[in-house]
Amino acid sequence: MTRFSMIGFALAVVCGASTLAEARPPTVMNSPGYDRRLQESRSQLGSSPATAPADAPVVKPKRSKKKQPN
């Protein structure tokens, strides 16, 4: 009985330790070049003058006949 309890305890310790591992995909990393370009593009978007959208003419949707199966 002691043998089974020790095996169970060891299994619980192994499972518990595996949940403490930090799981993140390998694509998540610090990239200084990407971060710099991202900040530059965001600053350019913020400094560009806001343009008003042009008044587009309202177009009614075209109605087409549905094809009937023979």
Beta-carbon contacts of 29 under 8 Å, excluding residues fewer than 6 positions away, are: none
The gap between the terminal CA atoms of the chain, to the nearest Å, is 76
pLDDT along the chain (70 residues), means of 10: 82 68 66 86 75 73 78
* Angle, CA 26 vertex, CA 25 and CA 28 arms, to 5°: 75
pTM over 0.75: no
Q: For residue 16, what pLDDT is reported?
A: 66
